[in-house]
Amino acid sequence: MERKTALLSVYNKEGIANFARQLVGLGWDIIASGGTARKIKREGVPVKDIATFVGGKAILGHRVVTLSREIHAALLSRDIPEDKKELARIKIPRIDLLCVDLYPLQKEMQDSKSTTESIIEKTDVGGPALLRSAAKGRRIVICRPEDRSAVLKWLKNNEPEKEKFISALVSKAEATVSDYCLSSARYHSNNTFNGIIGEKIIECAYGENAWQTPAGFYKNISANDPLGLENFKIISGMAPSYNNICDIDRMLQTITHIAAAYDYNFNRVPLIAVGVKHGNACGAAIGKNPITVLEKMLEGDPLAIFGGFVMTNFLIGKKEAAVLLNYLMPHGQRRLLDGVIGSEIKSDAIEMLKRKGAKCRLISNAALKKLNGKSLDHNNRFRYARGGFLMQPNYTFILNLRDKDLIKTRQLSASQESNLLFAWAIGSTSNSNTITLVKNSRLIGNGVGQQARVYGCKLAIQRFKDSGHNLKNAAAYSDSFFSFEDGIKVLKKAGISTILATNGSVNDERMMSYCKKNKITLYLIPDKKARGFFGH
């Protein structure tokens, strides 16, 4: 049987000698580039240096190693007599397997000490060229260290479903090269060129509506985020729908903003529970006891949370599950939820929360337990717009209660300021225009997505009335300034006497005069610094 040849050329050499050893055990010959060859040879594995195939060692300060006509011919040759004869004539073997990882370009770009020169030096040319040739040549191409064991297993198992397996490796290599080149284009053009290379990891039954198919969630292959959706484990229930994934993303914005705000302002992160419907919080609470926090979250809007999604930064056990299902429900009835996400979900809670048809998604991510001031998503936000896409920095502003630009018409107590901070974190991650009402660390009304600010005030008040709340000592947050007194009058009539908003309107003085006359405490921060528009 004709022996096969593998070419190994890796930047991260951890485990590469063992990989080579196992290939040799399967009857393969190994060739490798300089550093990789030395590593393999030191481990006692037979290997030939690539220099013996290209007529010389690396040149130009190691810039040119594998960029050789012979090597690319060995990767691109077809399984036909003509190509076999030509390879024999130039005395090189067909390369059947390529294992390459690339210089860590993205890591260099993220280094605060990097320079254009250092980035150019860390820009791999030979590696991407090898991967593309191997992909076109339909070789066994490995571009990620975690795929080595899968390839060995496949080889030992007599290469089942070969075309499908090779196609998966080829597409991964092409995507890796595309992402690598995109990073370089992004850097050198100062973001004139941009985009995302994604890998589908969740197949949705359909998009927002049943007729919008196919649909799915694509992971950014450059991302390494413990709170990325690919790190959320589906414990029970069907895969999240397109709308569920949108809700989870929005819940992450809200819960991380709450955590970051409290970490930044009070050096602590409370227990947090957020319930959403259509992406906007309809219940949210903070505290020290998980049962109390869940009860307060459900009290926010018991009607809206029915069929909603819940996320916590703490464990969901049997007692917590019982609260989610039964609290405020008529005797003998249980609350239906589309999903529950926690840092952990215990087995007895899973059995309790399951719904017929696997309609309640139970999901966990241990990273939720460690939320703090560094948990915000700092990656750029992309949004499709016809013919292209919009891009902007993420929502990373955190309200600082000690900000020198924060006007306080009266100093509030720590607990009152906490209510304002909580209202800000919820309202600034709800669809603008938004008016958010909070009392005793509990959301009691969220008037979101209104086309006039006064409508947001009326909606928030209607929501709290429908849920039977009392507004005495409640706080209101507005995601931008009040251009007129109309919205403030609506809040005052309902009993609100504490408001956090921005300033910057031509009518600021008029609005502040009204509040002073009516004994309404204002916290104001410049609109240019702290406007909280979200999710347009």
Secondary structure of 129-179 as H, E, C letters: HHHHHHHHCCCEEECCHHHHHHHHHHHHCCCCCHHHHHHHHHHHHHHHHHH
**The predicted structure's pLDDT at residue 55:** 63
Question: Is residue 400 scored above 60 in pLDDT?
Answer: yes
Residue 318 in this model has a pLDDT that exceeds 60: yes
**Hey, what are 363's tokens?**
């999901």
Considering only 140-144, 254-258, 355-359, 424-428, which range has the smallest mean pLDDT? 355-359
Instruction: Find the helix or strand (DSSP H, E) in which 379 lies.
Output: none
pLDDT in tens, 172-219: 999 999 999 999 999 999 999 999 999 999 999 999 999 999 999 999
Residue 151: pLDDT over 60: yes
Give percent of the chain with pLDDT exceeding 70: 97
Query: Could you report the per-residue pLDDT of 223-245, keeping only the tens digit for each?
Result: 889 999 999 999 999 999 999 99
Say what the pLDDT of residue 70 is: 85
What are the residue boundaries of the structural domains of the chain, listed by start?
Answer: 4-188, 198-232, 235-370, 399-530
One DSSP character per residue, 311-376 reads EESS-B-HHHHHHHHHTTSPTT-----SEEEES-B-HHHHHHH--GGG-SEEEE-GGGGG--TT-S
pLDDT at 519: 95
CA 451, 457, 460, 461 dihedral sign is negative
Token digits for 196? 């995302």
Instruction: Give the residue among 75, 99, 78, 97 at the shortest CA–CA distance from 159.
Output: 97
The pTM score is: 0.92
The matching CATH number, chosen from 3.40.570.10, 3.40.640.10, 3.40.50.300, 3.40.50.1380, for 4-188 is: 3.40.50.1380
User: Which amino acid is located at 333 in the chain?
Assistant: Q
**CA pair distance 520, 273, nearest whole angstrom:** 30
The residues, ordered by sequence, that sit 6+ positions from 453 with a Cβ below 8 Å of its Cβ are: 433, 435, 478, 480, 482, 483, 487
Instruction: Please tell me if the domain spanning 235-370 has the same topology as the one spanning 399-530.
Output: yes
Per DSSP, 480 falls in state S
Query: What is the mean predicted confidence (pLDDT) over 328-346?
Result: 96
End-to-end CA distance of the chain: 64
Question: Which uninterrupted H or E stretch holds 524?
Answer: strand 521-526
- Per-residue pLDDT band for 107 (boundaries 50, 70, 90) equals confident
What average pLDDT does range 329-345 have in this prediction? 96
Exposed e or buried b per residue across 340-377, where buried means at least 16 C-beta atoms within 10 angstroms of its C-beta: bbbbbbbeebbebbebeeeebbbbbbebbeebebebbb
Side chain identity at 180, as an amino acid letter?
A: Y
Q: Which is more confident, 322 or 55? A: 322
Average predicted confidence (pLDDT) for the chain: 94
Query: Using CA atoms, how far apart are residues 414 and 180, in angstroms rounded to an integer?
Result: 49
pLDDT tens column, 287-314: 999 999 999 999 999 999 999 999 999 9
The model's pLDDT over 51-89, given as tens digits with 9 standing for 90+, comes to 777 666 666 666 666 677 888 999 999 989 999 999 899
More confident residue, 447 or 103: 447
- 74 Cβ contact list (under 8 Å, min separation 6): 5, 7, 53, 87, 92, 93, 94, 95
235-370: CATH number: 3.40.140.20
Q: Which two structure tokens, joined as six digits, stand for 28?
A: 């393969």
pLDDT of 358 > 80? The answer is: yes
- The residue that leads in pLDDT, 62 or 103, is 103
CATH class (in words) of the domain with range 399-530: alpha beta
Q: Which residues pair with 142 in a beta bridge?
A: 99
- The angle, 0 to 180 degrees and rounded to 10, between the axes of the packed helices 242-266 and 414-427 is 150
